[in-house]
Structure formats: structure tokens, C-alpha cells
Amino acid sequence: DAKTTQPPSMDCAEGRAANLPCNHSTISGNEYVYWYRQIHSQGPQYIIHGLKNNETNEMASLIITEDRKSSTLILPHATLRDTAVYYCIVRGGDSGYSTLTFGKGTMLLVSP
Amino acid sequence: DSGVTQTPKHLITATGQRVTLRCSPRSGDLSVYWYQQSLDQGLQFLIQYYNGEERAKGNILERFSAQQFPDLHSELNLSSLELGDSALYFCASSGLGTGIYGYTFGSGTRLTVV
């Protein structure tokens, strides 16, 4: 699976959009970009995933560049409860036998 | 509630002992994954089972073993425990042919070895 690079930490004001970047320059054609988050000591929580197109769900939006070498997770209106470590993971979209490998992620701190 | 149930939530035991952690996957999910998270190591993949068979192995010590039963629940057995085994242990499950679906994680078991 391709490796990813994320900033170690970011700050965001409550109510503002949080834009979390991720570089995955070695991503291959059949690999998906996944985002998870982990609120302190809780189990990681799936946020969103995508292959080529931008995706949106009730939690966030995922913007993937045309060359697929980077992506941005957008939390449109961050709240204090969005303070967490956010993981960007690239994984083959095959039969499900490949596993998720977590890096160090980005610690997002949302402040009042 | 994620649908993945892990028991016990907390476990305190002495060095040299053996413990068993249990995981019930989300209904219908065939794959179970075990992860270890210690303070200095982050989330480390241990092992994956798919419909009762071992599918992938990560950084799992020989003192650790796992299995998945016919009812799809899984157990992670940790033996000859050392202080360094103190960590959060997470179980996750995913659905059939699930390359494009995410994992659902349980709330974890916090193991403290004293």
C-alpha cells in the first residue's frame, strides 16, 4: 500500500472549516484513500473514502486531486468534538484482504 | 455503539500471566482485525481473520495468538505477559469483499500489566 504524509498537528477555530491535507504521491490506480479519526483512546472511526472523484457525506468532504497524489479532508464547520487524530490511509480496493496501516496522523485541535 | 463489541473493557493482570480478549464483530461482517495501540507505537496491526481463517499477519508476537470461531466472534490470547504488553487492544470488523468499505472498530480493551 502507498505511504501517506500528513502534518503532525493543526489548529482550527470552532465553527470554521478544517482542511486536513494528505500526500500520497505513490498511490496506484486501484488504491482508495480512506480517512479515519480517533478521539482520545476511543476506537478509530471511519469518516470517508474515495477513489478518484470528490466525495461528501454527513461528516465530511474528501477532495482528491486529479493526479490522485494528494487529498484534503474538509470538516465544514468544526466543533470541539472534532478534536481528534485524523488518519489518511491508502489501501488497495480489492477483495478486502489488504489491511489498513495507520501512520501517525494529524492531531486536530479545535478551539473555542 | 459501533456494533463491534469488545470485552472486557479493562483488564489488569500480573507479568507472566495469560489473558483472553474477546471480540464480537458487527452483524454480517466476516472479517475481524486486531490492533494494538501503545503510547509510543501508535496503532499496530496484529492479525486478520476472514470467516474463520487467518488472512494476514502483522507485528504479532509469538506469545500472542488469535482465532475466529464459527459464530464469527474472535479471541486474542496473550500469554507470558510483559510490562510492555500494556496497551489498548482494538478489534475491527468489515464486510464481505470489502476492499471498498471501511472498518468498524470496537471501543477497545485496555490491558494493564503490573
Give the per-residue pLDDT at A94: 52
Contacts of A36 in chain B (CB under 8 A): 102-103
Cell of B28: 454480517
| Portion 12-41 of A in contact with B at CB < 8 A | 32, 34, 36, 38, 41
pLDDT band with cut points at 50, 70 and 90 for residue A101:
confident
Give the per-residue pLDDT at B14: 98
Of B33, B94, B99, nearest to A94 by CB-CB distance is: B99
Give the per-residue pLDDT at B44: 93
Chain A residue with Cα closest to B42: A104
User: Position of cell 496473550?
Assistant: B78
Give the per-residue pLDDT at B99: 45
**Ranges under pLDDT 50 in chain B:** 97-99
* Residues sharing a CB contact under 8 Å with residue A4, sequence separation 6 or more, in sequence order: A22, A23, A24, A88, A89, A90, A103
Report how far residue A111's alpha carbon sits from residue A50's, in angstroms, rounded to the nearest whole number: 29
pLDDT tens for residues B2-32? 889 999 999 999 999 999 999 999 988 888 9
Contacts of A32 in chain B (CB under 8 A): 99-100
Give the per-residue pLDDT at B98: 45
Compute the average pLDDT of residues A11-30: 95
Contacts of B104 in chain A (CB under 8 A): 46
* Identity of residue B81: L
Nearest residue to B68 (alpha-carbon basis) of B51, B82, B81, B90: B51
Report how far residue A23's alpha carbon sits from residue A80's, in angstroms, rounded to the nearest whole number: 26
